[in-house]
Structure 1
Amino acid sequence: MKFSSKLLNEISHGPVDHELVFEGVATDTRRDCTNKLFVPIVGEVFDGHRFIDAAIVNGATGTLWEKNKPFPKDLEGKINVYEVDDTTVGFQELAKQVLKQQKPYVIGVTGSNGKTTVKDMLEAVLSPKYKTFKTQGNLNNHWGLPMTVLAMPEDTDVLILEMGMSGLGEISLLTQIAQPDVAVITNIGESHLLQLGSRENIAKAKMEIAEGLKSDGVLVIDGDEPLLTPTHKNVISCGYEDNNELQIDHVEKRENGYVFTLKNEKEPFEISLLGKHNIKNAVYSIASARRLGMTDDQIRQSLSSLKLTGMRLEQFRLSTGALIINDAYNASPTSMKAALETLAELEGFNKKIAILGDMYELGDQEEFLHRDIATSVKPSITEVITVGDKAKWIYDGMKENETQVPAVSFDNKEDAASYLSGRLDDQTAVLLKASRGLGLETILQALGKES
């Protein structure tokens, strides 16, 4: 993204007396900074201002600079300096100015589960008609979102921004920067109970996305969630219950996905994705694409070519022929139950093994929420293996409930991989599900992932 130094007049102290064109922004001086604006981020344990000399050496032609920090005298005149009160705020304000100048159609996506999947779906659905750009990786916070804005190509038609949070007020900040035309709330789960204390507070935090929504924008929500009670004038509710504007009607399971219809509509939609929960994710994308003027035939064709970010119901084959379903990018009780349902629905396998790891950030309800997972283990699953101290509560819950599915518990991934070694054949399906911090997917390396 190229931008003129004139935009910095809006965010820095004093007018810029000459014009430069920057080729983008840089926050990491270990990477190429040629003709870029260096943004020295200040965190709890680091201060990017210390690396201004490296930024100059690597080609940066301008820098934001906090006015209360002295600029090195030996570097004066070697780089254009734009003083701000706070470089993080200046970074965010610059992103706002770029959005005002470029005017892409902005779709913001948040939710306890599914926001990255919906982001990927939106790109797949919209990209055949529009030039799209989306949040890369997990750049969905107060630094990542402006970085995404400032990295988008200049000819972007639709900008898809994932918005994450860990507490109240964070999504409010992100949506005020993005000012979306469409805002999607996928669901309300149990993630961040540690920080927010209740699902009601999680819902309140997710609803903040409407605060920055354009006056003529639309809010797309999970209409089956009673905690979502939006006051915005334009709302599209999606789900299975009768009150939804887009009500999922008939659902038919296929070998690698689902066919479904919306109530009062004749032509079905099809997705080639595991997991029934992805039907609702697809409906959010349908609602957003219709808002942008795409026809249902265009949407159907796009849905057929979906590709999701890695470790979300990602399928691999081991050299033994065993199917691995890697859903270990992250986990909450809601998403773990959905993954177990997906495993239970699989056909054509004699053995279906669920490897379940710790779930984090669940607060004082973490033991109950882990134990409650046991209620979602269906008899068609042939074995459950838990990994980690917290996941042992799942094992304990299965024993207490006398679940008719064998279960074993291990403290670490290495022992679990050793237990599995030699037991997985072409009639075996294995699910991996845990919070990101556990790195459960490394079991694949021990088992010999073939791809």
Structure 2
Amino acid sequence: MFNLILIILIPFFFLRLLRLLALIQQKEYRLDRLWIYLQTQEGEEEFFNFFPISKKITGIKRPVKTFKIILIGLSVFLLTAILLYFLPLWFLVILFLLYPLLIIGCMLPFVILNEIIKFIYLQKASAKIKEKNPIIIGITGSFGKTSTKLLLAKVLKQKYTVFTTPKSFNNKYSIAKSILANFTNQEIVILEYAAYTKGEIKILTKYFSPQIAVITGISSQHLGLFGNLENLIKAKSELLKVLPENGKIFYNDTDENVVKMITKFNQVKIAYGKNLHKENTNNLNLTFKYQNQLIKTQLIGNHYLINLDGVIKIAENFNLGHKQITKALINFKPNDNFIKSYNSKNGALIIDDGNTSNQKGFEEMINYVKQIKGKNKILLFAGIVDLGEKSQEIHQELAQKCLHVFNLMFYTGIDGKTEFKKILQDQLIDDEKIILEKLKKLNKNDLLLIEGKIKKHILEKI
């Protein structure tokens, strides 16, 4: 009897292990992010998903193979085998029910070891930077950090040597590792300073203290981790507190939270965000005028105008000329961190904002799609996570804004689905089989906006 029960449960032990390893990897091995996630509806369903045979439950599937995740997985497997061998049959049921706690317990020693490794990397990277003493530009905010960083690096390289971290590398380990690998005495260093809680940016600034700060915007992103907007603003302000007296603050003047945030600091403040305006063209790509010259970029989305205005202000402050700035912006090729557009297999227009999702960016894309005429507009969305107590309110606001823009909506997540379904009603489809069938039938009359991280097997049907 014992052998039969064991044979039945072993596949589910393995499937739960894969899904939960993917979850802790997705949450960056952080207990605070795991705790916030487990308080959401999606997190509850994942925690109590004892028999994970359906793809309908959350977007968690399998972990990315890394040395750390393999070690944690082997530790869990070994400990499970030992417990099953020595303990009585009834303990098997308890172990199966509490398996997530066992996996998290096995994760903790590796988290501690990882913090020690991070400290060593940070010390070495900091020493390397201090030896060469470059100008450090620090970028923080709830959104727009990576796009601003990459655009700014492209422009400043017209006159200076510039180091910046790749993609959206913005935590202690990824920044330190990038500096150790690729910093070679460049004149300017551009870094993102990200945080999930108060104190994290403060730690980063101890190792890499900027002379110039850029504040891109403040929104509800990761509000569940900060607790409230006030704590979030305090966390972002940690970047400004370390600026020298002759430092400079470039700030998004269209964001009232940012304007309020910078008032108590005495450094030179340079506003941006209100100087550029989109030129009406038949092209999806963003076009604007700069010093009476039409600049045709390869960017999709009007909200990039704010980032571009900030980049231009900083470049002018570094004495770059009009021609240098214009050349860089025209030739800038967006990577996967930017919104992109393409045609589906059947000719539908796809606008892909699937790299990340936040309230401000989503609202901007709703307005952008609204301006496009002659298309049957469809939204593919999975909800926004880490919003804490504001989740219901924010999803309700977003649903109202979607109501008269999209003819149809495919909802693949759990967080926010109740709010969207209440408002969109028959316009919303959450049955995955129906979603997959309808995605196959998209045609040249359709426009599909992909917002946030969508499961890979769904995207493959487009």
Q: TM-score, normalised by structure 2?
A: 0.70
Equivalent in 294, 311, 314 of residue 285 of structure 1: 311
| Alpha-carbon distance in structure 1 between the residues aligned to 2:244 and 2:182 | 20
The CA deviation string for residues 363-416 of structure 1, in whole angstroms up to 9 with x for no partner, is 01211211110222264533222222224235335348xxxxx6223155x552
The answer to whether 1:330 aligns with 2:363 is no
1:8 is matched with: none
2:423 is matched with: 398
1:416 is matched with: 435
Contact 2:379/2:449 (8 A) holds in 1: yes
- Per the TM alignment, residue 267 of structure 1 is displaced from its structure 2 partner at its CA by 5.1
Contact 1:110/1:163 (8 A) holds in 2: yes
Question: What one-letter code is carried by the residue in structure 2 that aligns with 1:253?
Answer: N
Equivalent in 253, 257, 276 of residue 280 of structure 2: 253
Aligned residue runs from structure 1 range 17-416, under 5 A: 44-46=108-110, 86-228=116-258, 229-230=261-262, 231-240=265-274, 248=275, 250-254=277-281, 255-260=283-288, 266=292, 269-310=295-336, 312-347=338-373, 349-377=374-402, 379-399=404-424, 407-410=427-430, 412=432, 415-416=434-435
Give secondary structure in 2 for the equivalent of 1:202. Answer: helix
Question: What one-letter code is carried by the residue in structure 2 that aligns with 1:200?
Answer: E
Give secondary structure in 2 for the equivalent of 1:276. Answer: coil
Question: What one-letter code is carried by the residue in structure 2 that aligns with 1:319?
Answer: K
Contact 2:299/2:338 (8 A) holds in 1: no
| Alpha-carbon distance in structure 1 between the residues aligned to 2:270 and 2:346 | 46
Contact 1:259/1:268 (8 A) holds in 2: yes
Question: What one-letter code is carried by the residue in structure 2 that aligns with 1:237?
Answer: A
1:57 is matched with: none
Contact 1:196/1:202 (8 A) holds in 2: yes
**In 2 relative to 1, CA 28–93 (structure 1 residues): closer, same or farther, beyond 3 Å?**
farther
- Per the TM alignment, residue 294 of structure 1 is displaced from its structure 2 partner at its CA by 1.0
Contact 1:175/1:211 (8 A) holds in 2: no
| Alpha-carbon distance in structure 2 between the residues aligned to 1:311 and 1:188 | 19
Q: Which has the higher strand share?
A: 1
- Per the TM alignment, residue 237 of structure 1 is displaced from its structure 2 partner at its CA by 1.4
| Alpha-carbon distance in structure 2 between the residues aligned to 1:332 and 1:224 | 17
2:57 is matched with: none
| Alpha-carbon distance in structure 1 between the residues aligned to 2:171 and 2:276 | 36
Question: What one-letter code is carried by the residue in structure 2 that aligns with 1:383?
Answer: L
| Alpha-carbon distance in structure 1 between the residues aligned to 2:272 and 2:332 | 20
| Alpha-carbon distance in structure 2 between the residues aligned to 1:331 and 1:213 | 30
The CA deviation string for residues 401-442 of structure 1, in whole angstroms up to 9 with x for no partner, is xxxxx6223155x552223222x11232211112x4xx4454
1:445 is matched with: 460
- More deviation, 203-212/273-282: 203-212
| Alpha-carbon distance in structure 2 between the residues aligned to 1:153 and 1:188 | 30
Question: What one-letter code is carried by the residue in structure 1 that aligns with 2:391?
Answer: E
CA RMSD of aligned residues (A): 2.9
Q: Which runs of 5+ in 2 are unaligned?
A: 1-65, 70-106
Q: Which runs of 5+ in 1 are unaligned?
A: 1-26, 31-42, 51-65, 67-85, 241-247, 401-405
The CA deviation string for residues 179-198 of structure 1, in whole angstroms up to 9 with x for no partner, is 22322111001011101122
Give secondary structure in 2 for the equivalent of 1:156. Answer: coil
| Alpha-carbon distance in structure 1 between the residues aligned to 2:213 and 2:294 | 25
**In 2 relative to 1, CA 270–215 (structure 1 residues): closer, same or farther, beyond 3 Å?**
farther
| Alpha-carbon distance in structure 2 between the residues aligned to 1:294 and 1:372 | 42
**In 2 relative to 1, CA 417–305 (structure 1 residues): closer, same or farther, beyond 3 Å?**
farther
- More deviation, 391-400/333-342: 391-400
| Alpha-carbon distance in structure 1 between the residues aligned to 2:240 and 2:126 | 17
- Per the TM alignment, residue 204 of structure 1 is displaced from its structure 2 partner at its CA by 1.8
Q: TM-score, normalised by structure 1?
A: 0.71
- Per the TM alignment, residue 298 of structure 1 is displaced from its structure 2 partner at its CA by 1.1
Name the count of aligned residue pairs.
356
- Per the TM alignment, residue 345 of structure 1 is displaced from its structure 2 partner at its CA by 2.2
The CA deviation string for residues 224-249 of structure 1, in whole angstroms up to 9 with x for no partner, is 22222321411111123xxxxxxx25
2:102 is matched with: none
| Alpha-carbon distance in structure 2 between the residues aligned to 1:186 and 1:397 | 33
